[in-house]
C-alpha cells in the first residue's frame, strides 16, 4: 500500500435539536408483534453528534485555521437545516444534513452524523367523559431510544451513502420466569449454580442494516423499518420462547426481525446480563421471591444475525445473490 489514509476528523457532540410538528410518519405496515404504525412527530427531538472529514490537515500540523468550519458553526448548521427538512424520519433528516454540508463546503469529503432520539411520550388527560390523549403535553421518557447513523461521502456521482445503521438503544427487559442457564463448562473456576428458571434481566442495543442503504433514508414507509417495531419484536420473542441463554435469545430475536423485514441485511446485538440476584428464594405459602440488583461485574454479548442464518434455519430460500 503506497498511501494509507490518516485518521483525521473533528466535530460536535451533544447537538440538541427539537423540531415541533415535523411531518408525521405514517403508512407503516402493522406487524403481529407491535401496535406501532407511525410517529406523530409533534416533537422530533434528538441529540446529534457530527464529525467531518476533509482537507484540513494543516489545521492540525500548521495551526492554519483557514479551512476550519468551527464546530460551533456545525451546531448552527444542523439546527437551521431542521427547519428545511420536511420528511418524517431521523434517517432522512441526517441524510439531508450530510448532503447540505458537502454542498456548502467543498473541502469536506465526508460527513457522519449519529443521532439519539430524545423520546417524549403522549400523556392521558381528563376529557369531558373519559381520559384522552393530550395533543399538547408530553412526558420525557427515560426508556429506550432510537439511534441512527448516516455517513455520506463525496463521490464522482455527487454523494455516496457510505454508512447507515438504525436501531434501538438501552432497551431494558426482564422476564420474571421462563429463562434458564445450564450446561455450561463446569471446572475448577465454576461457582455459578445452574439455573432452570431465572429472572432474566437484559440491557439491549439492537442495530440493523438494510440490503440497500438508500431504503433507510428514502422517507418511504413501504420500505422503512421503524425501530419501535424492532423493539416490540424483541419483547414478543422474549415472551414466547423459553430461552436457554442470552445468546440463544438474541439469535431468535434476530431471526424474527429478519423474517419480518426482508429489506434488512443484518441485525446486530449488544447485550448485557443484569439478572437479579436471589435474596429470599422461597416465601412459604406464597408465589414469588425477593431479588436485588446483581453485583458487578456484568456479562455481555455481541452478535450479528444475517439473512444467511435464515437460510441455514430453513426459514428462507437461498437467494442467487444478496447485495449489501
Ligand X SMILES: O=c1[nH]c(=O)c2[nH]c(=O)[nH]c2[nH]1
Residues of this chain that bind ligand X (CB under 6 A): 181, 192, 245-247, 273, 299
- Kindly state the smallest distance separating residue 268's Cβ from ligand X, in Å: 18
Strand blocks (E) in the chain: 10-20, 43-54, 108-117, 120-126, 131-140, 145-155, 158-181, 195-210, 264-273, 277-280, 290-292, 299-306
All three cell numbers of 236: 414478543
Contact 254, 265 (CB under 8 A): no
DSSP 8-state assignment for residue 34: B
Nearer to ligand X, 244 or 319 (CB): 244
Nearer to ligand X, 8 or 192 (CB): 192
- Kindly state the smallest distance separating residue 270's Cβ from ligand X, in Å: 14
Say which residues have a Cβ less than 8 Å from residue 256's Cβ, sequence separation at least 6.
33, 233, 236, 237
Q: Which residues are catalytic?
A: 12, 71
Nearer to ligand X, 37 or 245 (CB): 245
Nearer to ligand X, 13 or 299 (CB): 299
Nearer to ligand X, 221 or 294 (CB): 294
Secondary structure (3-state) at 9: coil
Contact 96, 150 (CB under 8 A): no
- Kindly state the smallest distance separating residue 202's Cβ from ligand X, in Å: 8
Nearer to ligand X, 149 or 179 (CB): 179
Q: Among positive and negative, which fits the CA dihedral 307, 308, 309, 312? A: positive
**What residue has cell string 431510544?**
145
DSSP 8-state assignment for residue 263: T
Beta bridge partner(s), residue 273: 202, 299
- Kindly state the smallest distance separating residue 279's Cβ from ligand X, in Å: 18
Nearest alpha carbon to residue 14 among 88, 120, 162, 113: 113
- Kindly state the smallest distance separating residue 176's Cβ from ligand X, in Å: 16
- Kindly state the smallest distance separating residue 24's Cβ from ligand X, in Å: 39
Quickly list DSSP for 63-118.
---TTPPPHHHHHHHHHHHTTT--SS-HHHHHHHHHHHHHHH-TTEEEEEEEEEE-
Amino acid at each position: 500500500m503506497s498511501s494509507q489514509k490518516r485518521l483525521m476528523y473533528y466535530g460536535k457532540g451533544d447537538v440538541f435539536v427539537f423540531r415541533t410538528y415535523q411531518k408525521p410518519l405514517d403508512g407503516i405496515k402493522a406487524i403481529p408483534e407491535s401496535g406501532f404504525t407511525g410517529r406523530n412527530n409533534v416533537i422530533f427531538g434528538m441529540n446529534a453528534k457530527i464529525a467531518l472529514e476533509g482537507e484540513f490537515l494543516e489545521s492540525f500540523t500548521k495551526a492554519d485555521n483557514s479551512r476550519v468550519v468551527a464546530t460551533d458553526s456545525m451546531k448552527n448548521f444542523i439546527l437551521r437545516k431542521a427547519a428545511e427538512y420536511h420528511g418524517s424520519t431521523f434517517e432522512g433528516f441526517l441524510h439531508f444534513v450530510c448532503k447540505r454540508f458537502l454542498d456548502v463546503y467543498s473541502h469536506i469529503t465526508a460527513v457522519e452524523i449519529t443521532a439519539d432520539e430524545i423520546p417524549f411520550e403522549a400523556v392521558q388527560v381528563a376529557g369531558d367523559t373519559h381520559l384522552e390523549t393530550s395533543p399538547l403535553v408530553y412526558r420525557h421518557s427515560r426508556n429506550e431510544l432510537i439511534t441512527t447513523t448516516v455517513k455520506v461521502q463525496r463521490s464522482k456521482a455527487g454523494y455516496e451513502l457510505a454508512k447507515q445503521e438504525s436501531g434501538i438503544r438501552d432497551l431494558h427487559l426482564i422476564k420474571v420466569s421462563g429463562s434458564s442457564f445450564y450446561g455450561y463448562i463446569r471446572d475448577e473456576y465454576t461457582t455459578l449454580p445452574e439455573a432452570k428458571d431465572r429472572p432474566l434481566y437484559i440491557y439491549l442495543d439492537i442495530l440493523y442494516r438494510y440490503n440497500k442503504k438508500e431504503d433507510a433514508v428514502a422517507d418511504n414507509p413501504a420500505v422503512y423499518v421503524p425501530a419501535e417495531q424492532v423493539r416490540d419484536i424483541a419483547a414478543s420473542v422474549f415472551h414466547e420462547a423459553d430461552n436457554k441463554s442470552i445468546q440463544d435469545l438474541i439469535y431468535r430475536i434476530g431471526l424474527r426481525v429478519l423474517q419480518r423485514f426482508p429489506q434488512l441485511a443484518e441485525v446486530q446485538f449488544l447485550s448485557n446480563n443484569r439478572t437479579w440476584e436471589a435474596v429470599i428464594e422461597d416465601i412459604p405459602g406464597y408465589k414469588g421471591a425477593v431479588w436485588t440488583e446483581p453485583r458487578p461485574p456484568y456479562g455481555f454479548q455481541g452478535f450479528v444475525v444475517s439473512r444467511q442464518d435464515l437460510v441455514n434455519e430453513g426459514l428462507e430460500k437461498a437467494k442467487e445473490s444478496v447485495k449489501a
